[in-house]
Amino acid sequence: MTASISEKWDRIYSARTEFPLPSQVLIDNAHLLPSVGLVLDLACGLGGNALYLAKKGLEVKAWDISPVAVKKLRKKSQEQGFLNLDAQVVDVENFDWPKAKFDVIIVSRFLQRFLCPLIFEAIKPGGLLFYQTFTQEKVSEIGPSNPEYLLGKNELLRLFPDVILRVYREEGRLGDLSQGFRNEAYLVGQKPL
């Protein structure tokens, strides 16, 4: 585990007192989720997605590099009685990824391009990928400024070329910038059988 990255996120999550809402891609497209199955919330942070999915009755694995975030998520999960949520400290950049293990993987506001093939391989045939993260065409200062962590135009589509596209949204800087879904792109895709 890269100590400096872990320490950076520990500092960030130590300062946060509120748990986040689920990501927009999940809220908008929850009707596509299976009724049962194993879900991975990758780079889960404080677990807005993981808690939402556990409440829906799915079996949830939540991975993050920050021990502070994982500890807070475990506590919140126990308080809410979610025995179906397993939060673990995992350095996903230095990890032996499983193959065809998860029915659903959700990634929100995390981008390491070299992991995309591993993420895709970890989804079972017929399983779903929910992915949402920041774009270079942001209209506000929210999110990272380093282009390494920002998607280019339609890049999310190119990162998962074999996915069966079910939903895609990326509005960029088109039209009235005070409205709509700005700053990020999202995708729901299905792994072919």
Output the pLDDT for position 3: 62
Q: Confirm whether pTM is higher than 0.75.
A: yes
| pLDDT tens, residue by residue, 45-55 | 999 999 999 99
88-92 mean pLDDT: 96
131-147 mean pLDDT: 93
> Which letter, b or e, does each residue of 2-40 get, where b requires 16 or more Cβ atoms within 10 Å of its Cβ?
eeeebeebbeebeeeeeebebbebbebbeeebeeebbbb
Output the pLDDT for position 5: 84
11-32 mean pLDDT: 90
Output the pLDDT for position 16: 81
Share above pLDDT 90 across residues of the chain, in percent, rounded to a whole number: 84
Written as one string, the DSSP assignment of the chain is --HHHHHHHHHHHHH--SPPPPPHHHHHHGGGS-SS-EEEEET-TT-HHHHHHHHTT-EEEEEES-HHHHHHHHHHHHHTT-TTEEEEE--TTSS---SS-EEEEEEES---GGGHHHHHHTEEEEEEEEEEEEBTT-SSS-S---GGGSB-TTHHHHHSTTSEEEEEE--TT-S-TTSSS-SEEEEEEE---
Written as one string, the DSSP assignment of 117-168 is HHHHHTEEEEEEEEEEEEBTT-SSS-S---GGGSB-TTHHHHHSTTSEEEEE
Share above pLDDT 70 across residues of the chain, in percent, rounded to a whole number: 98
162-174 mean pLDDT: 95
Asked whether residue 21 carries a pLDDT value surpassing 60, the answer given is yes
Asked whether residue 2 carries a pLDDT value surpassing 60, the answer given is no
Output the pLDDT for position 1: 46
Output the pLDDT for position 4: 86
Lowest mean pLDDT, pick from 6-10, 24-28, 83-87, 155-159: 6-10
What domains, with CATH codes, occur in the chain?
3-16+40-180 (3.40.50.150)
143-150 mean pLDDT: 92
Output the pLDDT for position 26: 97
- Spatial separation of the C-alpha atoms in residues 97 and 87, rounded to whole Å: 16
